[in-house]
Amino acid sequence: MMDSTLGSFEEAVLMAVYANGDNAYGATIYTKLEEWKQSSLSMGAIYKTLGRLEAKGYLDPKEGPPEPKRRGRRKKFYRLTGTGITALNGVRAMRRRMDTSLGLSGGGLALNAWQWGRLAGVWCE
């Protein structure tokens, strides 16, 4: 049985597929992820993740027509499956529940003095 958990990078890739709609293929997914991440990514990591998500049944691939600009190669387009949407909604709902239970509904994390001390390797009493 295939692992049905969804890692944070897998979640981001699924969101990039969703954001690109009918034009979701390697390069557009890469561009969207770089925009969100604000740093460089590896195309290899993206393609490996796309393959993993396809194997889990979260993505449905479809080859486009041969393109002369690509020397006859075809683009592989992706769309979310029902299973992929369910998995993505499940992870996003869990994040909302965690944020709500931690009082983070309106913003980011705030650390108290004890937590800052722990991060610095100092025990605070």
Distance of alpha carbon 48 from its chain centroid, rounded?
13
pLDDT-above-90 percentage for the chain: 52
Percent of the chain predicted with pLDDT > 70: 79
Q: How many CB atoms lie within 10 A of CB 124?
A: 11
Helices (H), 21-111: 26-37, 43-55, 82-101
Domain ranges of the chain: 8-107
Amino acid (1-letter code) at residue 53: L
Look at residue 114 in the predicted model and tell me its pLDDT: 59
Neighbours of 76 (CB within 10 A): 15
User: What letter does residue 25 receive in the DSSP assignment?
Assistant: B
Q: Given 3.90.1310.10, 1.10.10.10, 1.10.260.40, 3.40.50.1100, which CATH number is that of 8-107?
A: 1.10.10.10
Question: Angle at Cα 57 formed by Cα 63 and Cα 92, nearest 5°?
Answer: 110
Comparison of pLDDT for 4 and 10, the residue scoring more: 10
pLDDT digits (tens, 9 = 90+) for 18-61: 999 999 999 999 999 999 986 788 999 999 999 999 999 999 99
As beta bridge partners, residue 63 has: 76
Q: Which candidate, 26, 74, 70, places its Cα nearest to that of 51?
A: 26
pLDDT of residue 31: 94
* Residue 1: per-residue pLDDT: 38
